[in-house]
Structure 1
Amino acid sequence: AFALPGGFIAVHSGLVLAAQTESELASVMAHEIGHVAQRHIARMLGKQRQDALIPLAGLLLAVLAARSSTDASAALMVGGEGVAMQRQLNFSRDAEREADRVGLQIMQDAGFDTSGMIAFFGRLQTASRSYTEAVPAFLLTHPLTTERIADIEARISGLHYKQRVDSVDFQLIRARLRILQDDSPQGLREATVAFNNQLLQMNPGQTAAAKYGLALVALKQGATDRARSLLQEARVAVRAVPASEPSKNAIIPSLAIDIELAAKRPAEALKDADIARARYPLSRGIARQYADALIAGGRYDDATQYLRDQAQLYRHEPQLQDLLAKTYAAQGKQALQHLSLAESYALTGTLPAALEQLSIARKSPDASFYDQALIDAREREWQ
């Protein structure tokens, strides 16, 4: 995970799988939020501008020293660069320590188990031991993991221990990511073994996630009947989790729709999608699956109207344009199909491909006067 300018935080799916508990994942997220809250990127850029004067000063001194000693001149040049670089490394390590401290407070305020930060640091230390042992501490951008663990342990020593039970959603998402990261035949076999071992733990949350994972494996293997049965078992297992809050994630309904679509049962898929849309009105995935179900059921006019409305509301979503192109293709509307593909490419920043699609749309025999005008406008905008 890493923080970006503007307050954005990127999280790799591998992090979710690497974290063994929700508190461990929260510790990394809280750390990155700490970077954002303390404006570390902005401060780093400001410091870089200040430190840029150091190599310049070293260069000026080197020019003056060159008259008497070339060795001294070279030393001053290299020294100036080294001082500037070391100052940046020092700032980076200080920023990491500050993000740890702020992140720990964020974790505590959010009700997570603060020892999750120590547990994840320990796992990180094991994974990066060969690298950190080969590099001197003063050259690292982050403090030594042992130092960070000691600091966090000292800070939480006086806190009351608060156990945090992982949510069902966390377990389900980890199961899904395990499949999506490697859905090759070998990957599916390994996942099946892992999920079956998970069932042996007799933990309600783990059982629900394992059943869900096995259902997704079955879908990937084309066994839709088995997938449907396993997903129903996952639903039952979720309801059996003690003190479980209702799932706030559409992950189970989404898989149910995918199963029905794969089984060539568009009516059932549309029924499931309608229910899911009512329960998760803000889910973009469910919205697109609803359109998929309309297309699969041959309701192209309904799909077109729905997708046009969605595209007006969510103008920066290329998947909607892809679905529109798919709908227009089924209707034999070539010009509109390629116009939608052009919009999709443009939204992803692939302007050459977008312009090529506009060219194809212009040559389509069914291109209307309005279509030609829109093509002209888009060409002027994108060229």
Structure 2
Amino acid sequence: MIAAAVLSALAVVQAAVTPSLAAAQNLPSLGDTDREELSPLMERKLGEQIMRDIRRDRDYLDDAPLTEYLNNFGATLLAARPEARGEAGYDFFFFAVRDPMLNAFALPGGFVGVHSALILAAQNESELASVMAHEIGHVAQRHIARMLGQQRQDSLIPLAAMVLAALAARSSSDAAGALLMGGQGAAVQRQLNFSRDAEREADRVGLQILKDAGYDTTGMISFFNRMQAATRSYTDAAPVYLRSHPLTTERIADIQARTRDQRYKQRADSLDFHLIRARVRLMQDPTQMGLREAATAFENQLEQKSRVQTAAAKYGLALIALKEGSPAKAQGLLQEAYAAAQGASPPIQDAVLASLGIDIKLAAGHAAEALKEAEAARAKFPVSRGIARQYAESLLAVGRNDDAVAYLRDQVRLYRQEPQLQDLLAKAYAVQGKQALQHLALAESYALNGSLPAALDQLGIARRSPDASFYDQAVIDARERELKSRWQDELKETQKNR
């Protein structure tokens, strides 16, 4: 589970907050007694280590259209108020996890997670923006770093209990309670008080981001009221300090007071907001029963007679048809989605719809048509990472393997943190019969996902490949030394903190 991701990261936290180790590493002072123990660099390192484990979790939604929507949406909020990136100037990354509870969470270093249920519960983009802006506020104010600064007398035990309990509560309040039993009561109370202050501070930062970005600030009030009701129903048996975002009447009253004099500003939702909600509905429950329930919901949605709602419902039904192995039906529904959306202004140029069109053509075995659509989409949406990968898939599907390899080699040099590119490159090398390069690419994919033992295994296979050249062997040796060093460091930290 995602809660387990924190366990492997606690070694990094321990190094960050132990004064003797911090001194040995010459970590820079942040000029604040609450934050002097955790540098921005260490905070980012901690977030990256947690993310490596989260990405391996089955509930991590590694879906290109969804991830691109969240990051484009988050970038819009940050662009309206650049100082929200904080003193460290973090490069934010927004992602989604499959979870039936309404929640979102911020990790150290600029990583923000959103539960799938929260996306579905948001009735408009202003409500979704209110939650994401709130989480940006946590990162901008470096609340986790400040919390760690307060651990100087309490050690890591209560902090570990709090973090693990908050993440474990995603799926089981009983599990969360069991984890918290290991914490120390007085220290937990101090963290609870700080958490309440942090929540109010994040609310204020989030409200300013909402206002500057042109969203309706009352969206925060309406959505937080709904989250408060949902939290009560989910966690009546759990102590209040287990809630990752304790929603109090005082917090909501404070938000209302701050928005009382602001004029109501209606903002139309983007088409993508409704398309992504349809997509997430299928991810929330991918079982056959879940698909049937989603189909019923989409059919009911069609009765609203709204162009945007009709487009989203047709898109959702097209996704279901594709999942059920009916690409021809999916294509027809996609065309109906396009037709319904054409009343929008400006005319629809939508990457989410274009991406589904490529998937349908590939599933139907129409590789040439898929490539044609991918080329057109790449021209319209040059920064879309999902479209870029679909273009490579289409090149492989039509047998243009050399072109695919050349394109992917350029892509992996430009985008070094995308394991999906390495997977595609490995597939392209496999088609060409280049075994050593295939396993080198797989090693890079595993390393990016944090699976260092598997990456080292792939390097061993690459070394033994009959086509491994002298140059390949040199690359393998250098990469193996680097990954072994990283793996040994992780083992040492894990053993040190047992």
TM-score bracket for this pair, using the shorter chain length: 0.7 to 0.9
Structure 2's unaligned 5+ residue stretches are 1-103, 159-183, 485-498
Matched letter for residue 199 of structure 1: L
Contact (CA 8 Å) 1:121, 1:145: kept in 2 or not? no
The one-letter code sitting in structure 2 at the alignment partner of 1:114 is T
Structure 2 length-normalised TM: 0.67
- The answer for the alignment partner of 1:277 in structure 2 is 378
Q: What 5-or-longer segments of structure 1 have no aligned partner?
A: 56-80
> Is it true that 1:303 corresponds to 2:388 in the alignment?
no
Please, which of 459, 462, 477 is the counterpart of residue 376 of structure 1? 477
Q: Which stretch has the larger CA shift, 30-39 or 212-221?
A: 30-39
Alignment of 1:283-362 (within 5 A): 283-362=384-463
Aligned to 1:260: 361
The alignment partner of 2:227 has SS state of helix
Q: Describe the superposition over 1:282-316 as per-residue Cα deviations: whole angstroms up to 9, x where unpaired.
A: 11111110010011111111111111111111122
Counterpart CA distance in 2 for 1:377 and 1:139 is 46
The match for 1:218 is 321
Q: Match of 2:315, as an amino acid?
A: Y
Specify the alignment match of 1:77 in structure 2: none
Pair 1:380–1:137, CA change in 2 (3 A) = closer
Instruction: Encode CA deviations 1:100-144: one digit per residue, 9 max, x unaligned.
Output: 122222212222122211221122122121466556768877554
Query: Matched residue pairs, number?
Result: 354
| Structure with more helix by fraction | 1
Provide the rounded CA distance (Å) in 2 between the counterparts of 1:138 and 1:301.
Answer: 57
Q: 1:7 to 1:382 in 2, by over 3 A?
A: closer
Cα gap change, 1:182 to 1:139, in 2 (>3 Å):
closer
> Aligned in 2, Cα 1:270/1:135: closer, same or farther, shift over 3 Å?
closer
Offset of 1:42 from its aligned partner?
2.6
Deviation at 1:40, TM superposition (A): 2.2
Please tell me whether the aligned partners of residues 183 and 220 of structure 1 are also in contact (alpha carbons under 8 angstroms): no
* SS in structure 2 at match of 1:11: strand
2:15 aligned partner: none
The percentage of aligned residue pairs carrying the same residue is 71
1:160 and 2:263 matched: yes
In the alignment, is residue 87 of structure 1 matched against residue 152 of structure 2? no
Q: Which residue among 188, 197, 213 is the counterpart of 1:110?
A: 213
Task: Map residues 176-255 of structure 1 onto 2, 5 A cutoff.
Answer: 176-241=279-344, 244-245=345-346, 250-255=351-356
Structure 1-normalised TM-score? 0.86
Instruction: Specify the structure having the higher radius of gyration (Cα).
Output: 1
* 1:16 correspondence with 2:136: no
Q: Distance in 2 between matches of 1:254 and 1:247?
A: 14
**RMSD of equivalent CA atoms:** 2.3
Task: Say if 1:135 and 1:214 are closer, same or farther in 2 by CA, change over 3 A.
Answer: closer
Structure scoring higher RCO (CA < 8 A, sep ≥ 6) equals 2
Query: What letter corresponds to residue 466 of structure 2 in structure 1?
Result: P
Say whether the 8 Å CA contact 2:224–2:247 is kept in structure 1. no
CA contact (8 A) 1:107 1:114 kept: yes
Task: Give, in whole Å, the separation in 2 of the partners of 1:193 and 1:88.
Answer: 45
In structure 2, the residue corresponding to 1:367 is in which secondary structure? coil
| Contact 1:26–1:112 (Cα < 8 Å) also in 2 | yes
